[in-house]
Amino acid sequence: EDQVTQSPEALRLQEGESSSLNCSYTVSGLRGLFWYRQDPGKGPEFLFTLYSAGEEKEKERLKATLTKKESFLHITAPKPEDSATYLCAVRFGAGSYQLTFGKGTKLSVIP
Amino acid sequence: GAGVSQSPSNKVTEKGKDVELRCDPISGHTALYWYRQSLGQGLEFLIYFQGNSAPDKSGLPSDRFSAERTGGSVSTLTIQRTQQEDSAVYLCASSLDRGREDEQFFGPGTRLTVL
């Protein structure tokens, strides 16, 4: 059973059509949930870290929220340049440092 | 540039050959990580270095994989007797290792193809 599950696997939006990506996790002892953006042929680019339920963070058209079982990445009025794969990762357990990643959501924003 | 760099960007090799992948972390970052990204899979943790401490090798898939970090900076990931299932993008990341407030910064990766 995957510890981090992202949905949907792929999402196509029209420019300006707001939506949300989901990341659910089954680990205990969460020490951080991370969102990254990955463009083709490049390494993941850090977006947000969330630490506790109820926390929210925003950056331009993106807003990340966290509950006890899942996180949402809300995209408001997306533009074509927001097209990328969005990765969710968790760090859990005492003294841990490695990240456990989901498989990602590939977002395509059509002009 | 001040980011994590990796070389080569692409590597094609024949089954059974050894390969070395290099990572230059961000200057001043004490922690260094290797991950593997296979087609259709999430990033998979391989190994973690922190300062002069013994590395955490718990994610290495077999004894054909090894890594070292010289002088607390540059790291090399070595895969011996490569197999086709080793084909993947190998990503390196570094961080300041500030505990909970730690952000990992990734390099562009090395795409390894084993024929």
Mean pLDDT, chain B, whole residue set: 92
Q: What is the mean pLDDT of residues A80-85?
A: 97
Residue-wise pLDDT for B43-98, tens only, equals 999 999 988 888 899 899 999 999 999 887 899 999 999 999 999 999 999 998 76
When scoring A38, A97, A100, A106 by the number of chain B Cβ atoms within 10 A, the one with the most, hence best to mutate, is: A97
CA distances from B19 to A3, A43, B83 (A): 31, 20, 11
Contact (CB, 8 A) for A93 and A31: yes
pLDDT of residue A86: 98
Mean pLDDT, chain A, whole residue set: 93
Report CB contact under 8 Å: A98, B93: no
Which residues from A are below 8 Å from B102, CB to CB?
Answer: 32, 97
What does the alpha-carbon distance between residue B25 and residue B28 come to, in Å, rounded to a whole number? 8
pLDDT of residue A97: 79
pLDDT of residue A96: 72
At B102, the pLDDT band (50, 70, 90 cuts) reads confident
pLDDT of residue B1: 54
Report CB contact under 8 Å: B4, A103: no
